[in-house]
Structure formats: structure tokens, C-alpha cells
Amino acid sequence: MSGPSVHALSPHPEERRRRVSLDHPSRRRCAAPQDEGSEEPKGHVMTDTPLLDVTDLATHFHARAGVVKAVDGVSFSLKRGEVMGLVGESGSGKSITGFSIIGLLDPPGRIERGSVKLEGRELVGLPPDELRAIRGKAISMVFQDPMMTLNPMLTIGDQIGLALEAHESVTGTERRQRAIAALAQVRIPDPQTKVDFYPHQFSGGMRQRVAIAIALLHRPRLIICDEPTTALDVSIQAEILAEMKELVAQLGTALIWISHDLATVASIADHVCVMRYGKIVEAGPVLQVLTRPQHPYTQGLLDSLPSRARPGAMLARGAGTDAAPPPRLPRQAESGHRRADLPYVVIETVGKRFQRKSGVLRLLAQKAGLVGPLPAVQAVDDVTLSIARGEALGLVGESGSGKSTLGRIVAGIYAPDSGQILLDGEPVMSPGERPHKITTRIQTIFQDPFASLNPRMRIGDSIAEGPLAHGLVGRAEAGTYVAQWLAAVGLDPAFAGRYPHQFSGGQRQRVAIARALAMQPRSTSRSRRRSSICCCGCGRNSA
Ligand SMILES: Nc1ncnc2c1ncn2[C@@H]1O[C@H](COP(=O)(O)OP(=O)(O)OP(=O)(O)O)[C@@H](O)[C@H]1O
Ligand SMILES: [Mg+2]
């Protein structure tokens, strides 16, 4: 199926932008996308030509194991000020479409064919320095992990300054003022002070706001947001979504919003394109696609939404195709030893306080008796709960409510200050103690899979590393063992030879899950008694 022309389906995008401009006369100047410094071709009629015209775009990766057709003949166009949602399952080619548009592909990935035109100017095949001049200025990108944009060694003000200087010459004072204004624009409180902070001093939501501020710095005509709110908790997600909507409307910027979260797409996009296996399978106005989907795959995607689906129901990978469903995970609960009545993990009156560290000046002031120590933070306060075998417990709460700290105590990363953890009736952790002899039985899946995967190791080796070290598998059978776990999480066993960067975000998370689950002793009668638990911090989305 050839990709549809999205803007042809749009009834009122220009009207939407005009209304915003009229509502905010003071902002009309910002709304003009053809600001100074534009790469606008001479004689170009701004209102008639699409801002972005993607035709038959194909991006392939030429790996040793074969060619991966990540994007396989995608076409769409976007007008000024339009917001397009790009949705689809993990690995469908959404991010690679974004990277191809902005010219951020690393070998062995390359654009095989097709065209990407920005206001009539062909971007495919442009020399790297010309692409660099466009990137960050005419088109910018916001990633799921703001740390992909931010340098931990530089203050926020310096980073915004560097991004400014990439395309403009500014004086030192101007640089600081513009950085403060950029932070204020994305509603960072007290920007005059925060401009001197380092990224680690900001919360995840604030860091993402800074990444958005940097993306908006040169008033780009197009912003590509790749899952920008997926890692944030729902309240911050909603705030950022609302602010982003307002900002793109103010600035007249077109937006491609890449997400697997149909709810955010419904709330921000005018149009939506649904991707699968590198192709667009359905496109149209967001309401039409989400309420009256035509393609069986889109119908499956919508049916798998938690609000509609039965508990535990998954989108069949074969929806809309003849593809076979993925192999199922080996479940210990099915081998007849689920004992839901007996608690397997007991967390008893657990508490944890963190003493906040004072800076050098405060320490000196403390020594001089001028101030007292900073108050301690009670991260976990008298928590008691239990989990039965085969049961999954969801721990939800707003940012800073203690979820991760409790998870880390159970995983043995922190010792509790009070209370105890019992595993199968045996105390495994008591105040002040380090955990012992439970490392193969408790595994953690982190929100960011990069945190658990060594970027220099093939993922097959990463998955086999722990089971080999703990004698769960011998060297001779390690390959088959890894293949079994890759298949169990719905990945092709041939991927064992890839490095972490060669996966999509969702695929990488599956690798991290396979790595954690591979630490389960196999189902021998002894190991059944010693089944494992996993602490997951995969995401904060309440859905
Ligand atoms: N460097 C690479 N080498 C080989 N294949 C790659 C590489 N990077 C991505 N791919 C493959 O390209 C395909 C599309 O990946 P992409 O990152 O665009 O997926 P996505 O739709 O963004 O998924 P997600 O929702 O998980 O982020 C996937 O099959 C992925 O494995
Ligand atoms: Mg992606």
C-alpha cells in the first residue's frame, strides 16, 4: 500500500493556525514560519506548497544477517502548523522515519530511495554540512530520553548557549538572557536560578522541558517528537502535552508526534499515520482513524488499549496479516505450582530515609554553627504488603512517592532502615544488612534498558552472561538458551548477534526483559521451589 497524502485529508489546518494568530495578535510575529534566516527557495509560494513532503521513503540497514527494511516506501505530507501523529507497534519504523527526515542515520542505515522535501527543497543526498545547517534550525527533534540531548557535564544555561551559537552569533549577556527566556517559555520556575543548574539537578519532567526549549530555540518550522512523554508520570505528561500544543500553535510550527500512546496522539494530533513493518497502513484525521479504523491492524491496535481490552489481552502480532503469533513465555504458574494463597514475597513495615548531602558552603556554615543539617527525606515510610507466587503487583504513585526506592530495597540495592523482606518465608533483608544469596532470584528491569545493557556487548552475550556466571546453563547450550528467551519475548533469535543500539526502543526493552527472565533457573523440580521475582520500572504510564 502506498502511503497516503495526509494533508489531503485535513479540512482545516490553515484555519486552525489563523485562529491562533488572531487570538494572540502579539504572537503573530512568532507564528510566521518564514522568519529571517529561512532556507526558503526564491519565488516559493509559502501557503500552497506543503511544509514537508515525504515520498516513497525507504531506509534500510545492511546488517551481516541481512537487510532490515526499517522504512519501506513511506509517503505523507504536512502543512505549516499541522500536527501529525505517527503510531504503530514497536519496531514498525517510526523513529527511523524521524531520523531519516532529519538526516540522523548511522551506517549501516541509509536512505535507499525516495524523497524528503522541506518547503520544496530536497533533503535526501544533501552534504552533511548543509544538513547540519538545517538540523536544529529549520527542523529539530525531541527524544524520549532528554539525556540524549543534554550533556551532564554542562549547566543548562551553557547547553542552551551552545545550541544558540550553532546557528547564531550572540554576546555573552544575550546568551544568558536568551537561555533564561527559553526556560521561561517552557515554564521552568525561577529560570534566573535554574539556568545555572546541571541536568542531574532537574527532575525528568524538567529535563524534558529543557530539551523542548532547545528544540524550539530557533523557531523551527518542523519539530519531530519521538515519544517525548513516555518516560514521564501522567500528570507531568499531561502538562507537557498541553504546553507543547500551545507552543506549536503560537509559533506556527508543524509537529510530528511519534508515540505508541494513542491517547496522547488523540489529544495533540490533527492527523495520524499508522505504521507497521516499515509501511503506513492507514492515515487520516485523528478522530476518523481512532473512532472508525479501516485497517484490521489499526482495529487491533485500538482493541489492545487497556480501556477496551480484557485484562492481560495483547495485540496479536498477526492482526491484519497472516503472521504467526509470538511464542508464549514459559510460565511457572502453568506448571501447577501457583499457590496464590501463600505470600511469596512479604514486605513488612519497611522504611527508608535518605540524609540529603550539604554542599561545601553549607557544610562550612554547618561547622560554624550557622545552619543545621538539611532535613532527611523519608522516601519509604512503614510499607507492608505481600505478593503471591505468579502474581503481579503494580506500584503506582506520583513522581517522588517512593516507588523506585521500595523496588530497590526489594531488589537488594538499598538496605532498609526498618522492617524486613521475606522471600518464601525466609528473611532476606533486614535493617542495615546487604542482601545475600538471592541475586539470581530477584531481577530488575529498568525504565531505560540502556541502563542494564552493555553497549559494547552483543545482546546474546549480555543475556547469557548472568546464567553462565551462576551456572544456570553451560557454555555449549548458551546459544540455544538465549534463542529460547529471545523467542519468548517476541524477538527473532537471529537478533542475538546485534548490539543494543541496533534495536528500536521497545525491542531494546524486550531484550532487557529477556535478560532478567533468563536468570530463572529452568523448570526442574528444585528450581520450581525457587522461582524468581522481577522488579520492573518499565514506564510510568498509568495505562
Ligand atoms: N542500527 C540498526 N541496525 C539494524 N536494524 C535497526 C537499527 N536500528 C533500528 N533497526 C531496526 O529498524 C526497525 C525500525 O526501528 P524503529 O526504531 O524505527 O522502530 P519504532 O517504530 O520506533 O519502535 P519503538 O516503538 O520500539 O521505538 C526495527 O526492526 C529495528 O530493529
Ligand atoms: Mg522508536
Is 147's pLDDT higher than 80? no
* Cα 229 to ligand 1 centre (Å): 19
Q: Which of 60, 71, 96 to mutate to test the pocket of ligand 1 (most atoms within 8 A of CB)?
A: 96
Average pLDDT (8-36) is 33
The C-alpha cell that represents 106 in the structure block: 548511522
C-alpha angle 340/343/345, rounded to 5°? 125
The rounded mean pLDDT for the chain is 78
Task: Give the confidence band of 280 by pLDDT, cuts at 50, 70, 90.
Answer: very high
Q: Rounded to the nearest 10 degrees, what angle do helices 172-185 and 204-216 cross at? A: 120
Ligand 1 binding pocket (C-beta < 6 A) is 61, 63, 68, 70, 88, 90-96, 109, 260, 501-507
Q: Which of 226, 266, 273, 269 is nearest to 75 (CA)?
A: 273
Is 451's pLDDT higher than 90? no
- CA distances in angstroms from 105 to 96, 109, 405, listed in the order given: 8, 6, 37
Structurally, at CATH architecture level, domain 340-438 sits in 3-Layer(aba) Sandwich (3.40)
Reported as a single tens digit per residue, the pLDDT across 347-361 is: 989 998 887 666 677
Q: Does domain 1-36+45-138+220-321 have CATH number 3.90.79.10?
A: no
% pLDDT > 70, the chain: 76
DSSP-H helix ranges across 252-376: 262-268, 286-291, 296-303, 360-367
* Cα 515 to ligand 1 centre (Å): 19
Is 286's pLDDT higher than 90? yes
Give the closest ligand to the alpha carbon of residue 98.
1
Average pLDDT (404-429) is 82
Most confidently modeled range among 247-251, 412-416, 512-516: 512-516
Is 313's pLDDT higher than 70? no
* CA atoms of 400 and 339, how far apart (whole Å): 33
Give the closest residue (by CA) to ligand 1 atom 28.
91
- CA distances in angstroms from 64 to 108, 206, 413, 469, listed in the order given: 10, 41, 39, 29
Give the closest residue (by CA) to ligand 1 atom 31.
503
Q: Residue 470's pLDDT is what?
A: 84
Give the closest residue (by CA) to ligand 1 atom 29.
91
Reported as a single tens digit per residue, the pLDDT across 136-146 is: 889 999 988 78
Q: 16-20, 165-169, 413-417, 534-538 — which is least confidently predicted?
A: 16-20
* Cα 40 to ligand 1 centre (Å): 32
Q: Could you tell me if 453 and 459 are in contact, meaning their C-beta atoms sit under 8 angstroms apart?
A: yes
**Phi then psi for 120, rounded to 5 degrees?**
85, -10
Average pLDDT (330-341) is 45
Is 533's pLDDT higher than 70? no
Q: Residue 358's pLDDT is what?
A: 66
Q: Residue 141's pLDDT is what?
A: 92
Q: Which atom of ligand 1 lies nearest, measured to the CA of 68?
A: 5
Reported as a single tens digit per residue, the pLDDT across 181-228 is: 999 988 888 999 999 999 888 887 888 889 999 998 998 999 999 988
Q: Residue 223's pLDDT is what?
A: 95
Burial of residue 171 (CB within 10 Å: 0-12, 13-18, 19+) is: exposed
Q: Which residues surround ligand 2, an ion (CB under 5 A)?
A: 95, 504-505
Give the closest ligand to the alpha carbon of residue 260.
1
Q: Rounded to the nearest 10 degrees, what angle do helices 478-488 and 459-469 cross at? A: 120
Domain boundaries, the chain: 1-36+45-138+220-321, 340-438
In sequence order, what are the beta bridge partners of 276?
279
Reported as a single tens digit per residue, the pLDDT across 420-446 is: 888 888 787 777 666 555 556 777 787
Is 130's pLDDT higher than 60? yes
Q: Residue 195's pLDDT is what?
A: 94
In sequence order, what are the beta bridge partners of 444?
535
Task: Give the confidence band of 31 by pLDDT, cuts at 50, 70, 90.
Answer: very low
Q: Residue 307's pLDDT is what?
A: 58
* CA atoms of 505 and 173, how far apart (whole Å): 40
DSSP-H helix ranges across 252-353: 262-268, 286-291, 296-303
Q: Which of 145, 277, 501, 504 to mutate to test the pocket of ligand 1 (most atoms within 8 A of CB)?
A: 504
Reported as a single tens digit per residue, the pLDDT across 75-116 is: 999 998 899 999 998 899 999 999 999 998 988 899 999 999
% pLDDT > 90, the chain: 34
Q: Residue 532's pLDDT is what?
A: 58
Give the closest residue (by CA) to ligand 1 atom 2.
502
Give the closest ligand to the alpha carbon of residue 505.
1
Give the closest residue (by CA) to ligand 1 atom 24.
90
* Cα 453 to ligand 1 centre (Å): 17
The C-alpha cell that represents 404 in the structure block: 523506585
User: Does the N-terminal peptide bond of residue 108 adopt cis geometry, omega within 30 degrees of 0?
Assistant: yes
Q: Which atom of ligand 1 lies nearest, measured to the CA of 89?
A: 25
Q: Which atom of ligand 1 lies nearest, measured to the CA of 278?
A: 14
Reported as a single tens digit per residue, the pLDDT across 365-383 is: 878 877 777 777 788 998 9
Task: Give the confidence band of 19 by pLDDT, cuts at 50, 70, 90.
Answer: very low
At 124 the three-state DSSP class reads coil
Please tell me what DSSP assigns to residue 334.
G
* Predicted model pTM: 0.73
